[in-house]
Copies of this chain bind each other. A is one copy, B any other.
Amino acid sequence: MNIDMIRAAAARLNGHARRTPLLNSPFIDDIAGRRVWIKPECLQHTGSFKYRGAWSALSALDADTRAKGVIAFSSGNHAQGVALAAAQHDVPSVIIMPADAPALKLANTRALGAEVITYDRATEDRDAIGDRLAAERGLTLIKPFDEPQVIAGQGTVGLEIAADAKAQGIKTADVLVCCGGGGLTSGIALALEADAPGLRARPAEPEGFDDVKRSLAVGTIQRNDRTSGNICDAIITPAPGQLTFPIMHRLCGPGLAVSEDEALQAVAQAFLRLKLVAEPGGAVALAAALSRKDEIEGDDVIVVISGGNVDAPIFARALAGLV
């Protein structure tokens, strides 16, 4: 896993992934007490950065392997990224989703061209279903984060941040990244190491699900007690990855953790001041910039809004807090 793989992924993504800008607002700066630069990956295809990793992994496969198709386990943003990238490569995709996943996510994933196979969480083993399908059809598994070409794709976010920070004259800053398994955070950290060594990636997580923060603090992989029951569902994973953690441990600054209310307030500020739709899990980095200012150093901070796939009732709940 190295910077050359990220640059190669960037070349493959060129003309396919959206080149997202760095946005700002004087009102956001006032709340945060410093200049805040927002990288809006909610504007990426399928509404999250996951499209980058999916396209990177698909495009890195040799043509014969790819032609047989790909498979992924996901009820969320990774599913949509893989489905769209596979459709654009004109190859089949199979997404294994729980039968009780939200109807809209099932419908969206199908509409993006995937074959969706549902399983019963209580009685069926999704890995066994996936293994059988992969063997029968020769499908390649696209893991959500612990996979080099996926990390390389997410790392292209870091290359863009490095270039845009340089253009703005930002030499030193924390870069806060919404963090689940660490694919995005580790990819960005590698890109910054090469192209903007004065910028430092730091993972942001929900309180109570801060496995990466705790892992970085003690130097070994720590797990979450639970993997559900938080509004930031998109970025909740059991533990950092075997590939992603060593990278984060070597390169990242301390983690930050925010409450559900703070995440919802950040969703509301993104609506009010940036005209962006962020999902709660995609807003934890912005929440950290707004609510944890004493834990951040410097005149500038850069935050990634990692996704915007939020259900309308939850978004309405965030807006209600504005009144």
Contact = CB atoms under 8 A, between A and B. Distances in A.
Interface of A: 18-19, 21, 23, 26-27, 30, 40, 42-43, 47, 84, 108, 111-112, 268, 271-272, 274-278, 308, 312-313, 315-316, 319-320, 322-323
24 contacts: A18-B21, A18-B23, A21-B21, A23-B43, A26-B84, A26-B112, A30-B111, A40-B275, A42-B275, A43-B274, A43-B275, A43-B276, A47-B275, A271-B277, A271-B312, A271-B315, A275-B277, A275-B278, A275-B308, A276-B277, A313-B323, A315-B319, A316-B316, A316-B320
Give the oligomeric copy count.
2
A312 B272 CA distance: 8
A108 B30 CA distance: 12
Nearest to A308: B275
A21 B108 CA distance: 24
Given A271-B315, A277-B271, A312-B323, A111 B27 contact: yes
Contacts of A277: 271, 275-277
A312 B308 contact: no
A30 B112 CA distance: 11
A319 B312 contact: yes
Contacts of A313: 323
Nearest to A317: B316
A156 to B, nearest CB: 16
**Secondary structure of the A contact surface, majority rule:** helix
A319 B267 CA distance: 15
Nearest to A111: B27
A134 B277 CA distance: 40
Contacts of A47: 275
A21 B23 CA distance: 13
Contacts of A322: 312
Given A275-B43, A308-B275, A111 B316 contact: no
Given A27-B108, A312-B322, 5 more contacts: A26-B84, A26-B111, A271-B315, A312-B319, A316-B316
Contacts of A320: 312, 316
Contacts of A323: 312-313
A111 B312 CA distance: 30
Contacts of A275: 40, 42-43, 47, 276-278, 308
Nearest to A21: B18
Nearest to A307: B275
Contacts of A26: 84, 111-112
Contacts of A274: 43
A315 B276 CA distance: 13
Max count, chain B CB within 10 A of own CB: residue among A42, A275, A308: A275
Contacts of A40: 275
A47 B275 CA distance: 7
A88 B159 CA distance: 29
